[in-house]
Structure 1
Amino acid sequence: MSDQAQPSARARWPLVSVLIPAFNHARFVQRCLDSVLEDPYPSKEIVIVDDGSSDATAEKIAQWVAMHGDRLPVQFVRRENRGVAATLNELALRANGEYLRLGASDDYLLAGGLDAQVRYLRGHPQALAVIGDACVVDPDGQLLHASAMRDLHGVDVDLYRSTSTIARAVIRHWAVSGAVAMLRRSAFDVRNGWDESLRIEDWDFFLRLAARNALGFIDMPVCAYRLHGSNLSKTADVASRIANLDESRQVALRCVALFDEPERTLLRAQARYIAAKVAFLRRRPHHVVGHLAAFAWLSSPFSRRAGSVRGASEPA
């Protein structure tokens, strides 16, 4: 490409930084990197941090960079473990792109997704981020579900399609699996990044974007979400599940003040629903009943219209 052609090419194809936090995914990480290289979008870079893996993940990344690093810009950092949120913040700070595509070292991108998400953001200047759907694969890459949102989570995708209901969908039907989000760099700047105190950081980050009416959706699979034994949010360990759920409840309560009605009341209701799950896992049936009663009260059509009713109180 000539020097004269470069400015127009950059205007047409803004740089996308694919951010990949990598941790103990030696089996999968090279497939993830291959998928970035295979995507036909022409202006992209990879920024990948090995977050203190104890397996051969870092070695697999280094091998891949040695073989393919001359085909696109790659930044590779290996350091001690600091967690997903801290790694995402570091990746975003290192990135050069106008757009930040979130990746995961056990998932892989689907061809065409980068272009579709860039087109969405360029056509919707009010949106700071756009999410897509994912297909679901097993550890060997065999297809399990064509749509994670419909088949794995069972949500009404129409709620995500509409700008008037996407915030409610994020609150009540969080159904984002895998690396399906692209952000404007300003989304990272404005929202101050990911909360490094959290074990599972994504719902908090996207609640904050939804509260600003700054989140969009495209109804197409943009990545393959891999189900395997290490998926944190699917842990079978009861103590870990309780910790994850209790953290989500605290996130919901913390974000309530960011929303207007009726979403504010719906988020309070969701906090009660999560609390009922925690009570169930702790084998406290009376608490389950109380939290579910509060959830039903807050979720009623009257509460959705009126929000927090003056002079009334939700069940204890």
Structure 2
Amino acid sequence: MPLVTIIALCYNHARFLEAALDSILAQTYPHLEVVLVDDASTDGSADILRRYAAQNPGWQLLLLPQNLNNCRAFNRGLALSRGEFVIDFATDDVLLPERIARQVAAFEQAGPRCGVVYTDAELLDESGRFVRHYYRRDARGLHPRPASGLVFADVLERYFISTPTMLMRRATLDALGGYDETLSYEDFDFWVRASRDWEFQFLDIVSTQKHLHPRSKSAKSYRRHDPHLASTIIVCRKALALCRTPAERAALVVRVRWELRQALRHRSRPEARELYQLLGELGAVRPVDWLAFKVLG
């Protein structure tokens, strides 16, 4: 039975923290390693983490003296761990009881080249009330459409993975050197680099509850001076270097053009200039792109 590491990352999650940690204890999968990482919280989260670590002597506790942000904090926890599979668990979320057991079984069925198993999620408001599932379902299927197998072009072109639901193979993380600590967020970069050589598998279950609240990273995206947009440009340039086929470059064009529209919409002029330049390097500038850039950029 493979060891699964849960790296529980906390930054000012006191309001949600007990429910998150209780959801670890409720897992039906028995072979777990838990690393609690507090990224210099200021809301009393550290006291809650100390209490749970004392009650569960096998859990490791890392209290960072200064805020490092998610990528660096995760890598610190990863360095302390030894599991064959790893969950990056934000402690404002909740793991449903069968999650790890079902995902480990999916990995065993998918084979050794599978680097990620991901699922559907329940999205909750700040009060814990159900809002919707991550994937919308109708007679035509799931939206956004999940993809399995070699999904490099898919992750370039569109967002379709619910990040909190991922179970990652440690060998995949090790091959990438963990998260890129120069970036302000981790998921798009991880998807791009991991999907180049590793398969992803969608498991059609709900495994996780994710809270939607204004302090989350996604709620702050694409605002003016958003640091995530600069990181996205870096990842797009990494993706360009990794593209091997015209179809993959075409998928990257879709991504860059979409990011350019967001930058123009939010008046992020320096980032818009970089994205416009990247579109030119891809040989994909259209008259409408040029006009939008000249009017808004």
* TM-score of the superposed pair, with normalisation by structure 1: 0.79
CA–CA separation in structure 1 for the residues paired with 2:131 and 2:243: 36
Shift of residue 236, structure 1, vs aligned partner: 7.3
* Structure 2 residue 27 is the aligned partner of structure 1 residue 43: no
Q: Say whether the 8 Å CA contact 1:16–1:100 is kept in structure 2.
A: yes
Structure of greater Rg: 1
Partner of 1:239: 224
1:272 counterpart = 2:257:
yes
Matched, 1:216 2:201: yes
**Residue deviations 1:7-65, cap 9 Å, x none?**
xxxxxx21111111111111111111100110111111211110111111111111222
Query: What corresponds to 2:131 in structure 1?
Result: 144
Shift in alpha-carbon separation, 1:61–1:160, aligned structure 2, 3 A: same
Structure 1: segments with no counterpart, 5+ residues = 1-12, 299-307
CA 1:89–1:95 in 2, change beyond 3 Å: closer, same or farther?
A: same
Aligned residues: 276
The amino acid that maps onto 2:52 is W
SS of structure 2 residue aligned to 1:108: strand
In structure 1, C-alpha distance between the alignment counterparts of 2:238 and 2:268, rounded to whole Å: 26
| CA offsets 1:73-120 (integer angstroms, 9 cap, x no match) | 200110121110011111111112111122111111011110111112
1:178, CA displacement in angstroms?
4.8
In structure 1, what is the Cα distance between the partners aligned to 2:161 and 2:104? 19
What amino acid maps onto 2:38 in structure 1?
D
Question: Are residues 1:110 and 2:96 paired?
Answer: yes
Percent same amino acid at aligned positions?
Answer: 26
Show the 5 A alignment for 1:96-107.
96-107=82-93
* Aligned partner of residue 37 in structure 2, secondary structure: strand
Distance in structure 1 (CA, Å) of the matches to 2:128 and 2:163:
14
Counterparts of 1:253-264 in structure 2, within 5 Å, are 253-261=237-245, 262-264=247-249
Aligned residue runs from structure 1 range 72-221, under 5 A? 73-79=58-64, 80-124=66-110, 125-145=112-132, 147-150=133-136, 156=142, 159-163=145-149, 166-221=151-206
| 2: CA distance, partners of 1:112 / 1:160 | 21
Deviations 1:181-204 (A, max 9, x none): 111211111011101111111110
1:53 aligns to what SS in structure 2?
coil
Flag the structure with higher strand content: 2
- The residue aligned with 1:28 is 16
Provide the alpha-carbon RMSD of the alignment.
2.7
CA 1:131 to 1:75, structure 2 compared with 1: closer, same or farther past 3 Å? Answer: same
Distance 1:49 1:196 in 2: 16
Q: How far apart, CA to CA, are the structure 2 residues paired with 1:56 and 1:138?
A: 22
- Distance in 2 separating the partners of 1:209 and 1:61: 31
Report the Cα offset of residue 272 of structure 1. 2.2
Q: Which runs of 5+ in 2 are unaligned?
A: 291-297
| 1:102 partner SS | strand
Name the SS of the counterpart of 1:27 in structure 2: helix
